[in-house]
Structure 1
Amino acid sequence: MNFFPTKKYTFSLIDTDEKSIERLKRRTYESNTLISKTTDKSFIGTINEDSFRIVSSERGTGALCVLDGTIKNQKGRMDIYINKTFKYLFSIILLFPVIALIVISATEGISLNILFLCLLQFAFIRFAFIGLFFYILSKRSVNKLADVLDTKSLSVA
C-alpha cells in the first residue's frame, strides 16, 4: 500500500521544446535543494535540456509537491509526488495513532473501540489531511507549470 499519493500527467506544448524549456528556465530559481526560498521566480529547482525537477516557490507549502518531468517532441510527461522531507514529517504524524494504541493497550488493555478509534484517526490523517493537502497543492503547481510552459492539453496519465 502506498501511503503517499502521487500523480502522473501528460501534456503537449504549443511552442517548441527549446522555447518552452527556456521560458521555464527564466521563471525558475536554480537550486539543487528543493526547499522554499523567497524569490520572485515561480519555481525552484533544476532544469536540464529535456527534463526538470522543480517545486513551487510559494513560501511554506510550495515545496510539498515535487514536479519531475521530461519534454520531447512537443510532448511531455510529469510525475508529481511528495517531497522527501515532508514524507518524513507525515510519517511521524502517522505514527501518533499507532503510538497511542500501544500506550493505551499497555496500560488498560486493548479493546475493539480503542482499536477502531486509532484506525479511524490513521485513516483521517492519511486521506483527509495528507490527501487533501496534496490534491490542492499539486493542482496549484500543475496549473502554474501549465501556464509557464504554455501547454495546449494537459491530462492525467
Structure 2
Amino acid sequence: MKIFPTNNYAFELSKDSSKAMAELEQNTLITDSLVSEWTKKAFIGKVNENGFRIISSKPGRGAFCVLNGKLESKNGTIEITIHKAFRVMLSIIFLFPFIGFSIALFTKEKEIIISLIIPTLMFLVVFRFIFTELAFRIISKNGLKKLSKIIGITNLKKNEAQHSI
C-alpha cells in the first residue's frame, strides 16, 4: 500500500516538443522553488528544453500536486506526486492518532484505550483513502487539464505500473 498517491502518464503532443516547451515556458512563472505565488501565469516552476517540474499557480491548493514531465520529439511522460511540504504535513497528521493512542495507553486504563483501536484505524483509513486521495485526484486532474491545453496533449494514457513511496 502506498502512503501517498502518485500517477504516471504517457502522452503524445500535437506539435513538436520544442514548441510545446516554449508555450509552457510562456505560461510558467520560472522559479527554483515550488511555492505558491500570486501570478497571472498558469504554472510555477522549472521548464527546460526536454522537461519540466511545475505546480499549478492556483492559490491555496495549487501546490498540492507536482507535475514532473519529460519530452522527446512528440512523446512524453508525466509523473504527478504530492508536494514534499504536503507529504510532511500529512505524515504528521497521520501520526497524531498513534501518538495520542500511545500516550493514553501509558496514562489511562488499558480497557478503555484498547476500545479506541478501531476508531483510530478508521480515522487513518478515512483520512488517507477519502480526503487525501480525493484531493489528489481533483487537483491533479485540474493541473493535467491545464497542462494539456497549454502544450497540446492529444493522446494521454495512464501507466498502470506505479511505484510506491
Write the deviation string for residues 52-86 of structure 1: whole angstroms up to 9, x where unpaired.
Answer: 00000000110010000101020010000000000
Give how far 1:100 is off.
2.2
SS in 2 for 1:63: helix
- Which AA in structure 1 matches 2:109? E
Residue number in structure 1 paired with 2:68:
68
Letter in 2 for 1:63: A
Gapped runs of 5+ residues in structure 2? Answer: 160-165
* Percent identity of paired positions between Structure 1 and Structure 2: 36
Q: Which amino acid aligns with 1:74?
A: K
Q: Does 1:139 align with 2:141?
A: yes
Q: How does 1:15-30 map to 2 (within 5 A)?
A: 15-30=15-30
1:108 and 1:37 mapped to 2: Cα distance? Answer: 49
Q: Deviation string for 1:68-124 (max 9, x for gaps)?
A: 010102001000000000011101111111122113322121555311111111111
Q: Cα distance, 1:35 vs. partner?
A: 0.7
Q: Does 1:116 align with 2:118?
A: yes
| Deviation by residue 1:6-49 (Cα, 9 ceiling, x = unmatched) | 00011100011111010000000000000100000000000111
Q: Which runs of 4+ in 1 moved over 3 A?
A: none
The RMSD of aligned alpha carbons is 1.1
Q: Report the Cα distance in structure 2 between the residues aligned to 1:38 and 1:89, rounded to whole angstroms.
A: 22
The 1-side partners of 2:136 and 2:144 are apart by 12
For 1:108 and 1:19, the matched residues in 2 are separated by 67
CA distance in 2, matches of 1:59, 1:50: 27
What is the aligned partner in structure 2 of residue 4 from structure 1?
Answer: 4
Cα distance in structure 2, aligned partners of 1:141 and 1:108: 49
What TM-score results when the alignment is normalised by the length of structure 2? 0.91
Q: Which runs of 5 or more residues in structure 1 are unaligned?
A: none
Q: Distance in 2 between matches of 1:142 and 1:82?
A: 14
Show the counterpart of 1:92: 92
Q: Match of 1:108, as an amino acid?
A: E
TM-score, reference length from structure 1:
0.96
